[in-house]
Amino acid sequence: MKVIISGGGTGGHIFPAVAIANELRRRQPDAEILFVGANGRMEMTRVPEAGYKIVGLDISGLQRRLTPQNLLFPIKVMRAVRKAGKLLESFRPDAVVGVGGYASAPVLLAATSHGIPSLIQEQNSYAGLVNKLLARRVNKICVAYEGMNKFFPAEKLVLTGNPVRTEIATGDRAAALAFFGLDASRPVLLVIGGSLGARTLNQATAAALPRLQAAGVQVLWQTGKLYYPQAQEQAAPFAAAGLHALEFVQRMDLAYAAADVVVSRAGALSVSELCLTGKPSILVPSPNVAEDHQTKNAMALVKHDAALLVKDSEAATRLYDEALALLQDPARQQQLSANVRQLAHPEATSTIVDELLKLIKTRS
């Protein structure tokens, strides 16, 4: 069996793609799986780290203003589609999966033109542009939220939830505290701004470090690569008290296991991980995303009293008042935790692979 998985750009696309690949390989150990990403994007390093081969296309997104790059965009797309077509001819996949991101479009355009079974996995509650454009061409669309028929043909939809690495919810708290060098007698706050980091969260967290230390709170603060050097300097005076700046957290299973409360952006992957781990959280949706889809992701939890929400514009003044109040309220933590667990889809990855295998079987 041969499968191509295309897309990337952020961890929110890459990690679900890897979860699908892992489940497929678990069921079919001899399956050949090839990733296709965009040159210069983070999938070109993260996917090989996960043990899979990846091929890069020279493709990027449209700018939101008139630029010379936009004038070249159609040429880039045509070249990328041509390269993707040649790749399909040489690799001869039984099916293609698109997870969103720049590289997804040319690969799925080429695959559907060749009649190769194709499946889209849409992570967000507001569908991405690439997936909306490709919806009429693909065979199946796996979604994480109800009501997605306003974006996609209803007959192609399967409500699966988002693929999340199963080990994310299996971390042992004692092992996690030892791993990060934290004190079991004091509360732990986990701050995650997505795989690329978040300026607003980083600025608010840096300003709140003295308050957090005074309250006896320990912090695991994932900053992102761009913001890490400054954050490391800001956190250094507080390291002895258990307040740590981290560029990127490889062992998210242990980070979640250690945390009493999580402050997070509301990317689709982060929201799905919070549901699966059952962590009480405060969500700060990024305003710098298409159609404000992170707010829509967050509201899917907030309307079930499964998370708290602080607007990005209010993070500097409100975020750490809310965080400290929640850290001091175990009953509210338990309530949020119980509610968010009800929204989890622990079988998501398995269901998506079921749908993929059905497509392959139908073709054969």
pLDDT tens digits, one per residue of 289-346: 777 889 999 999 999 999 999 999 999 999 999 999 999 999 999 999 999 999 999 9
Question: Where, residue-wise, is CATH 3.40.50.2000 in the chain?
Answer: 2-162+346-363, 167-341
The answer to whether 70 is a known ligand-binding residue is no
**Rounded Cα gap, residues 327 and 126, in angstroms:** 31
The verdict on whether residue 3 carries a ligand-binding annotation is no
140 membership: H or E segment, kind and range: strand 140-143
Residue 294 annotated as binding site: yes
Check the annotation: does 281 bind a ligand: no
- CATH architecture label of 2-162+346-363: 3-Layer(aba) Sandwich (3.40)
The answer to the question of whether 200 is labelled as a binding residue is: no
The verdict on whether residue 12 carries a ligand-binding annotation is yes
Angle between helices 104-113 and 68-91 (to 10 degrees): 50
Residue 269 labelled as part of a binding site? yes
pTM here is 0.83
In this prediction, residue 11 carries a pLDDT of: 73
Question: Annotated binding residue at 138?
Answer: no
- Residue 126: pLDDT band by 50, 70, 90 thresholds? confident
Nearest to 197 by CA among 238, 229, 150: 229
- The verdict on whether residue 11 carries a ligand-binding annotation is yes
The CATH code that applies to domain 167-341 is 3.40.50.2000
Tally of residues, the chain: 364
Residue 46 annotated as binding site: no
Question: Is residue 31 annotated as involved in ligand binding?
Answer: no
